[in-house]
A and B are shown apart, each in its own frame.
Chain A
Amino acid sequence: MKPIAEMTEAELAAHVQQHLLKRGIRVVLSGGTCVTIYSMNAYVSGGLDLVAEVYARPQEISAALAEIGFERHGRTYRHPESRLLVDIMSPPLAVGGEPVKEVREIRLATGDLRVISPTDCVKDRLANYYYFNDRQCLEQACLVVASTEVDMAEVSRWSTGEGQEAKFAQVRRGLLDAEAARRQKAPPTRKA
């Protein structure tokens, strides 16, 4: 197997996921690393946010991750050969007030990676902009839209459901511009 120090964010996430799965803990990749994947590395994340689909006791998670060399540091886990922090977050797997309905699988050298869709990734980033005014996350949402096909009608519907029509109206132009730039560059390669 590839040494951990040489694994990309996505490969490390798949490695951790596959090992946790062997111990009966199912997790899905969410957060900034999804932006790294869907923006074709235009953004580099500092950690892996893995959301448990069903509640697992912290002791079980710690024991499982210790088997592959991860040590607990507060609420996160770190491997001595990797700069990435791993955070195992409690269920439910959600974006704002809605559950995540689609989990994608991407085949990698270290195993199959279970990850939220590009559309949910954009919602996840926009939620941080809507609720915490985090402009970095707005930029990340635009990076995803500029690189991968995203269902903008669904993002609009979700934003309305979150009570964020006004904020969506403010950012819609930027997202549509990013989408137009992607269409000009190349035909769509992935479906949202």
Chain B
Amino acid sequence: MYLCCLDEGYPRQIARFSGSTLSAIQRQLDRLESGGVVYSQLLGRTRLYRFNPRYPFLKELKALLEKALTFYPEAERQALVMTRQRPRRAGKPL
């Protein structure tokens, strides 16, 4: 769900967001990558995961996740969809 809403993420970030352990998230991402659902790329020392655009069931999977999101408690849904995605220039205060 994290990747569906935010397009990409690294294991520690997803673990922090979902309140899971890092190892549990890494294990799940590893399985999803083995199944071709996600792919990863090294960005410096961080392994970044995204949905694999070549996964044949991606459209259907995303539609299912989008529908599931509408059933989320409002606070959790807001946390997923209201995370800032647009860039912020370096040095600009928050």
A92 within 8 A of B: yes
Q: A90's contact among B35, B53, B54, by CB below 8 Å, is which? A: B35
A96 within 8 Å of B (CB atoms): yes
A53 to B34, CA, bound (A): 15
Residues of A within 8 Å of B59, CB to CB, are 97
**Beta-carbon nearest neighbor of A58 in chain B:** B34
Give residues 87-113 of A contacting B (CB, 8 Å). Answer: 89-90, 92, 94, 96-99
When the two chains form their complex, are residues A97 and B34 in contact, meaning their CB atoms are under 8 A apart? no
- B73 interface residue per 8 A CB criterion: no
Q: Count of A residues near B, CB < 8 Å?
A: 14
- Chain B residues within an 8 Å CB radius of A90: 34-36
Between B36, B56, B58, B59, the greatest number of chain A beta carbons within 10 A of the residue's beta carbon is seen for B56
Interface hits, B1-53 → A, CB 8 Å: 34-36, 53
Say whether A131 contacts B54, CB under 8 Å: yes
> Contact between B36 and A97 (Cβ–Cβ < 8 Å)?
no
Do B36 and A89 touch (CB < 8 A)? yes
Selected contact of B56 from candidates A75, A94, A131, A132, CB within 8 Å? A94
From A92, A94, A97, A99, name the one whose CB has the most chain B CB atoms within 10 angstroms: A97
Which residue of A has the minimal Cβ distance to B54? Answer: A127
Q: Give the docked Cα–Cα distance between A99 and B53 (Å).
A: 15
Complexed CA–CA distance, A94 and B58 (Å): 12
Q: Which residue of A lies closest to B39 (CB)?
A: A132
Interface string of B42-84 (1 = CB under 8 A from A): 0000000000011010110000000000000000000000000
Within the assembled complex, what's the spacing in Å between the Cα atoms of A54 and B89? Answer: 48
Bound-complex Cα distance A98 to B59 (A): 12
Contact between A98 and B53 (Cβ–Cβ < 8 Å)?
A: no
Nearest CB in chain A: distance from B56 CB, A: 4
Q: List 6 A-B contacts (CB under 8 A).
A: A75-B34, A97-B56, A97-B59, A127-B54, A131-B53, A132-B53
| Interface residue ranges, A against B (CB under 8 Å) | 58, 75, 89-90, 92, 94, 96-99, 127-128, 131-132
Knowing that A96-B54, A97-B56 are A-B contacts, what are 9 other residue pairs whose CB atoms are under 8 Å apart, sorted by A's residue number?
A89-B36, A90-B34, A90-B35, A94-B54, A94-B56, A96-B56, A97-B59, A98-B56, A128-B54
